[in-house]
Structure 1
Amino acid sequence: MVKLKASVQYGDFEGTAAADDGHDQSFHNFLLDKGVLSKDDFVVGVEIWVGENHGGPSNPPTIRALVAPAAGFDAFKGSLTRQEKLRLREVEVELSFEEFFGLFKRFSIVLTKRGLELGGREYEPIESNRNRLSHRPFLRRTG
């Protein structure tokens, strides 16, 4: 059984994510346009996984749409009271980071060091001359 919760091998960081659907092209509509969804399918979740990076440029993401056999939000929500286990179809989608994030109007991810219980806490930003790192080409460490 698979859980609807992010996990990695060591879990050094944990956190939350939030996203707003794109107005012109949402993730759901993108999959409809590509023919992998029907009008009786509803995307209830999205998983993006990146891994096995060892100090160099990132590997392409693995992206999965989690699809329920329901004709929309209300139909799926109504079915939740009748099901013990969710039955979802996983649709793997090949997209670049830019293409994936382009399907959302806004996307936010917050990660905090595991064990500190910082999630949801407020903080006050501290001004410093070290508040910005300019983009530089990724350099692979040698030796």
Structure 2
Amino acid sequence: MYTKNFKAGVQYDDYTGTLAADNADLINIKQELIKVGLINENEFVIGLDFYPLGKYSGQDKEITVDYYILDDFNFEEFRDQIRSGIKPTVRKVNQDLTFREFFDLFKRFNGTLSLKGLIDQIDIDVTE
């Protein structure tokens, strides 16, 4: 077991930002993971972490996804535990996907990056 700060990061963090995604209508991440035998019915995907495999990997799959899993998840109880400072223990499973398979998990997917996070989550005036 090890501790992970659940935040995106790379070696130099030249650009940092935020991501947001909506669940897909036709594909449910939990059901997909049950179908391939990575989780069971009483488990819940609480988070995911993803990164490209690299153009020199020689694999057909292009992205690795780490899923963070909780057993018998209750949203309100979990939120209250986090707020009270209790560090959760989660199980990690992973899966290699094509970019298409990955983005098909979501209805909408949006990301922002800014140099060293300088304009992260602030109002900016934009001209075109």
- Indicate if the aligned counterparts of 1:17 and 1:108 stay in contact, CA closer than 8 A: yes
Q: Which runs of 4+ in 1 moved over 6 A?
A: none
Q: Which runs of 5+ in 1 are unaligned?
A: 127-143
**Distance change in 2, residues 1:122/1:83 (3 Å):** closer
Q: Does 1:99 align with 2:68?
A: no
**Distance change in 2, residues 1:23/1:39 (3 Å):** same
Cα distance in 2, alignment partners of residues 70 and 79 from structure 1:
14
Percentage identity across aligned positions?
28
> What is the aligned partner in structure 2 of residue 47 from structure 1?
49
Match of 1:24 among 23, 26, 35: 26
State TM-score, norm by structure 1.
0.72
Deviation at 1:62, TM superposition (A): 1.9
Cα distance in 1, alignment partners of residues 80 and 72 from structure 2:
10
- Indicate if the aligned counterparts of 1:21 and 1:103 stay in contact, CA closer than 8 A: yes
> What is the aligned partner in structure 1 of residue 40 from structure 2?
38
Larger strand share, 1 or 2? 2
Match of 2:88 among 77, 86, 89: 86
Q: Alignment partner of 1:118: what SS?
A: coil
Counterparts of 1:1-143 in structure 2 under 5 Å?
1-50=3-52, 60-71=62-73, 73-74=75-76, 76-77=78-79, 80=82, 84-114=86-116, 117-120=118-121, 121-126=123-128
Deviation at 1:53, TM superposition (A): 6.3
- Indicate if the aligned counterparts of 1:64 and 1:90 stay in contact, CA closer than 8 A: yes
